[in-house]
Amino acid sequence: MSIGFWLLQSLNALALGGLLFLLSSGFSLIFGLMRVANLSHGAYFMLGAYVGLSVLQAGFGFIEAIFAAGIVIAVLGGLIERFLLRRLANRTLAQVLVTLGLAFAIADICLMLWSGDPMQLPAPRWLSQPIRAFGFVFPGYRVFVVEVSIVVAVLLWLLIERTKLGAMVRASVDDIQMARGVGIPAQKLFSFIFCLGAALAGMGGVLGGPILSVYPGLDGEMLPLALVVVILGGIGSIGGAFVGAYITGFVYTFGQTLLPAFSYVILFLPMIVILAFRPSGLFGKSAP
């Protein structure tokens, strides 16, 4: 195994980390704010990839596909939040179980509409030019994914840390009753964050399509990864999701290369260490 191999695997790990960040940042925000572990998040990711595929097949460009998927999944998420989750307000477990049921329904509808064959989303040519650096050749598309995830991370960070909206979100994460008490419109905030998180997952699906391809069962593979990221990084923390996503990306990629049969088991080692020593996650605040 040459240095080139390790560099390439590292880039793969970074790209997977980027995708996981898009998936789990939304999950983490929703969980932090609403205390709902949205178990259909993996299904959003998969459905986003399928929607993106259809948009591409209809002759549109890759960027259009990303945004179309984001919008479709955001609308779907908004409907679910408005008509199902809101009816079950303050019943966290029921909400989680509803999202679990929906995950199955969405996955089966995807199977019905897009058949069971694995399909690869073609990466646009202008993004997949190989990049030469330090005497090695890197697949350009993966570099693009890493860049996108960093841009999104910075934007999310700015949104949460530097805007009034973000301040309201942070206040609600810390103490929802106090936040309501001082007049923060928590319900609207829930809807917004839920749509935002759903959109990020859907866009992540399209972005991941050329790397992971899309197939039935993708949802069930991505969801545990998102859970691991959030448990690692700490609930409701963008920074935690970022660090957790890249750790998970590296552990999973190298696990898959070196010990393919046990890549899932290896994935859980960092989670177990974190749970043993810091149950609230790397960046999480200890439970109230």
Partner 1 sequence: MTSNTRITSISVTLLVLALAAPLVAGQPFYINIGSQVLIAAIFAMSLNILVGYGGMTSIGHAAYLGTSAYVVALLTLQHGFGFYAASAVALGVVVVMAAIFGAIALRGTGITFLMITLALGQTMWGVAFRWSDVTGGDNGLPDIKRPDLFGLNLVEPGLFYAVMIALFVIALVGMWIFTQSGLGLSLQGTRDQPRRMGMLGHHVWLVRWIAFIIAGFWAGVAGIAFIGYHGYIHPLSLGLANSAEVLLMVIAGGAGTLLGPVVGAAIVVVLKMVVSAYVSRWVLLLGCTFVAIVILLPEGVVPGLERLLKALLPETRDDGEASS
Kindly tell me which of 145 and 223 has the beta carbon lying closer to partner 1: 223
Kindly tell me which of 65 and 103 has the beta carbon lying closer to partner 1: 103
Q: Cβ of residue 27: shortest distance to partner 1, in angstroms? A: 10
Contacts with partner 1, residue ranges (CB under 8 A): 31, 35-37, 39, 84, 87-88, 91-94, 96-98, 100-109, 111-112, 220-221, 223-224, 227-228, 230-231, 235, 260-265, 267-268, 271-272, 275-276, 279
Asked whether 153 and 161 are in contact (CB, 8 A), the reply is no
What single string gives the DSSP state of each residue in the chain? Answer: --HHHHHHHHHHHHHHHHHHHHHHHHHHHHHHHH----TTHHHHHHHHHHHHHHHHHTT--HHHHHHHHHHHHHHHHHHHIIIIIGGGTT-HHHHHHHHHHHHHHHHHHHHHHH-SS-BPPPPPGGG---EEETTEEE-HHHHHHHHHHHHHHHHHHHHHHHSHHHHHHHHHHH-HHHHHHTT--HHHHHHHHHHHHHHHHHHHHHHHHHHH-B-TTHHHHHHHHHHHHHHHH-TT-HHHHHHHHHHHHHHHHHHHHH-GGGHHHHHHHHHHHHHHH-TT-SSPPPP-
**Gap between the Cα atoms of 151 and 163, Å rounded:** 17
Q: Cβ of residue 59: shortest distance to partner 1, in angstroms? A: 30
Kindly tell me which of 122 and 279 has the beta carbon lying closer to partner 1: 279
Q: Cβ of residue 164: shortest distance to partner 1, in angstroms? A: 29
Kindly tell me which of 101 and 130 has the beta carbon lying closer to partner 1: 101
Q: Cβ of residue 279: shortest distance to partner 1, in angstroms? A: 5
First to last CA, the chain: 48
Q: Which amino acid is at 50?
A: Y
Kindly tell me which of 13 and 68 has the beta carbon lying closer to partner 1: 13
Kindly tell me which of 63 and 273 has the beta carbon lying closer to partner 1: 273
Kindly tell me which of 101 and 185 has the beta carbon lying closer to partner 1: 101
Q: Cβ of residue 264: shortest distance to partner 1, in angstroms? A: 3
Q: Cβ of residue 153: shortest distance to partner 1, in angstroms? A: 22
Kindly tell me which of 74 and 232 has the beta carbon lying closer to partner 1: 232
CA atoms within 13 A on the CB side of 181: 5
Q: Cβ of residue 95: shortest distance to partner 1, in angstroms? A: 9
Q: Cβ of residue 224: shortest distance to partner 1, in angstroms? A: 4
